[in-house]
A = this chain, B = another copy of it.
């Protein structure tokens, strides 16, 4: 699949917007960095989440640790970096679980989902531009937490985790 033409209409610091012509169809498309999200369980059996101010939607959301890939790092390198920065977790056993498109109707973003288990605890080192709270929850409490989650990637990550672990 290739467009007939592509025109960049906004060139920002994180986001870029292009208008593509596909035969009779005109498509406005957001370009943003590809990303990762991590279902991280530490060696005490706690799921590690972050509560973060999300300016775009005017509220704080409870989410999986996640972030944008900074080439040339691989998705796995990015996931380990983001998890260390946001929660202090290191080591552990890593597995790639899924890849998906977050908003294929208007954006290119692809997200890779990792499971990280038996992680060792340490000190977070948040970057200056972000403000968030590190939240730890016993894995057995995930089902009762689901109704209050409003972030798509967090739902995409935790629902298969419950299936895989037989906790659903």
- Which residues of A pack against B, CB within 8 Å? 1-3, 9-10, 12-15, 17, 19-20, 22, 24-30, 32, 35, 53-59, 61, 63, 66, 98-111, 129, 146, 149-153, 155-156, 159-160, 162-163, 168
Contact = CB atoms under 8 A, between A and B. Distances in A.
Copies, count:
2
A18 B116 CA distance: 35
Contact of A30 (B19, B30, B35, B160): B30
Contacts of A28: 12-15
Contacts of A25: 55, 129
Contacts of A9: 10, 12
Contacts of A30: 15, 30, 56, 106-107
Contact of A155 (B26, B100, B146, B150): B100
A33 to B, nearest CB: 10
B56 A27 contact: yes
B56 A104 contact: yes
B152 A3 contact: no
A1 to B, nearest CB: 5
A14 B106 contact: yes
Which 7 pairs across A and B sit closest by C-beta, in order of nearness? A159-B159, A54-B104, A15-B28, A29-B56, A10-B10, A1-B58, A27-B55
